[in-house]
Amino acid sequence: MTNMNSTLQHSNTPLLHHSFPIVWTIAGTDPGGGAGIQGDLKTMHALGVHGCSVITAVIAQNTRGVSCIEYPSIEIVEEQLRSLREDLPPAAVKIGVVGRRDVVRAVIRTINDMAAPVVCDPVLSSSGGASFLEPDALNAIRDELLPRMDLLTPNIPEAEILLGHPIHNFSDTEQAAGELLRMGARSVLIKGGHRDGSHSQDFWTDGRQRVWLTSEMMAHTGTHGTGCALSSAVASALALGWPMLDALVIAKAYVYQGIRTAPAIGHGRGPLAHGPWPLHPGDMPWITHTAEEGPPPSSFPSLENEAIGLYPIVDNAKQVDQLAVAGVRMIQIRIKQELNAGVERELRKAITCASERGVRLFVNDHWKIAIEKGAYGVHLGQDDLAPDALKEIREAGLRLGISTHSYSEIARAWAYRPSYIAIGTVYRTPSKVMDYEPLGLDRFRKLCSISPVPVVAIGGLKVENAADVLAAGASGVAVISDLAEAKDLEKRVAEWRKVITDVERVQRPC
């Protein structure tokens, strides 16, 4: 091997300031372009990061299977790692096929002191059974690589190989993930696509949180490279700043989109498609705490095909009446106090007023009063999604809205099939102290696009920024301070309604 160290070290090329994150893939090749390095780079490009690659194995394969594997020298693997580290440090790393113990150790030496999160898809063999490991590599993966992994993403057969025992059912899956955590991985996603059934259910845990991510199973042959795409998508989303559970939801939606739109390529199990950022509501998985919670229950009632539009949030019955007189047709009453006689009295007055005025009134949190007095619906936060409460609300025929601010919270809300989802905060707001940054318009647009039900935007919304939020896909706009502080309420409501009507006219021209 010709050593080019001097060229690399003494280059006069100025340091570039990267405009988007760099993600490494350390893996084997796929000349068919569906999996491995080639599939990883397609995924990374689609999700808006710059992919860099280190080839650990040259694999001859196509859609029918693997015919030959050859491992490059450890020197060239180390040189690839060194050259990237010097010039293109990663915001995240994805590891696939490593093949040999010396490669495992070279990778660990390179990434050990990096802050970048590391995702490992332990590709131990092909779907046809061809082994991707030399005899001494498995123990190196178990003992040396796992303790450096922020996320391990084995399918069930791979988890069985790593653990040395079978996994038969959902309970076994949860126990297996715990065992892999004890072996050193910081979090584990065990993929359930190999199971028979109508749904694909993956289990993730970091030892504190534990959730199941579920999608409907599709009868499609375009599944080659799904494991590579999933792990690369997770690494890409992490590099873009999404938290781990959000990254998993994004990745699962990306893979589902890829299978759904897969082209017919080759004569065997063809590759998934590498499309854009997942924006289709049908690709959204749902999150539950047990596998037995899926498939999901029937949907809560819809909003009767009426546009949501202006959706004020108030804290007393008088405001409900004033807004109804001003022409508002959907309102939420939110009284952030424990239920007492005064709160109950105010809620009853508000529900009665709304009924008399023909207003669709949602009651925040106090669902028992909403059911008893026949409110139109209930709005709940993420911490209030108790199964017993949801069952009673559903049986009473009330609509349900759920607050969210991230992919994982939308996925959790989607498990209950609500009438609408509120997403925010979009902009900074004085009405609520938040422990996270506002989404901003771009992230709100992405979240809004993939929601399977109508979206209410919330947080820092005023007439002046409403058009942008509605154009991003919101069906309704939740407003608190902008109306509460209005000197002329009827005039301000009219201004809101004009903005909403103007946007609707642009979106649905005659």
Please spell the DSSP secondary structure of 296-360, one letter per residue. Answer: --PPPP--TT---EEEEEESSHHHHHHHHHTT--EEEE---S---HHHHHHHHHHHHHHHHHT-E
Contact 27, 53 (CB under 8 A): yes
Identity of the residue numbered 85: R
Catalytic (active site) residue 425: no
Q: Give the angle subtended at the CA of 22 by the CAs of 103 and 13, to the nearest 5°.
A: 95
Taking the CA of residue 428 as centre, how many other CA atoms within 13 Å lie in the half-sphere pointing to its CB? Answer: 1
Q: What is the DSSP letter of 145?
A: I
Catalytic (active site) residue 275: no
User: Among residues 191, 205, 252, 448, which one is catalytic?
Assistant: 191
User: Among residues 192, 225, 270, 377, which one is catalytic?
Assistant: 225
Catalytic (active site) residue 336: no
Quote helix, strand, coil % in the chain, to nearest 5.
Answer: 40, 20, 40
Catalytic (active site) residue 227: yes
Sign of the CA dihedral 433, 434, 440, 441?
negative
Q: Which residue has the tokens 């004085």?
A: 430
User: Among residues 25, 226, 288, 425, which one is catalytic?
Assistant: 226
d(CA 501, CA 510): 13
**340-377 burial, b for 16+ CB within 10 Å, e for fewer?**
eeeebebbebbbbbbeebebbbbbbbbbbbbbebebbb
Contact 55, 28 (CB under 8 A): yes
User: Among residues 36, 96, 99, 227, which one is catalytic?
Assistant: 227
Catalytic (active site) residue 374: no
| Number of neighbours of residue 234 by Cβ within 10 angstroms | 31
User: Among residues 43, 214, 223, 404, which one is catalytic?
Assistant: 223
Catalytic (active site) residue 352: no
User: Among residues 228, 270, 309, 353, which one is catalytic?
Assistant: 228
CA dist list (Å): 27 to 195, 232, 234, 396, 455? 26, 11, 15, 54, 40
The tokens for 119 are: 């995702």
d(CA 376, CA 403): 17
Annotated catalytic sites, by residue?
A: 191, 223, 225-228
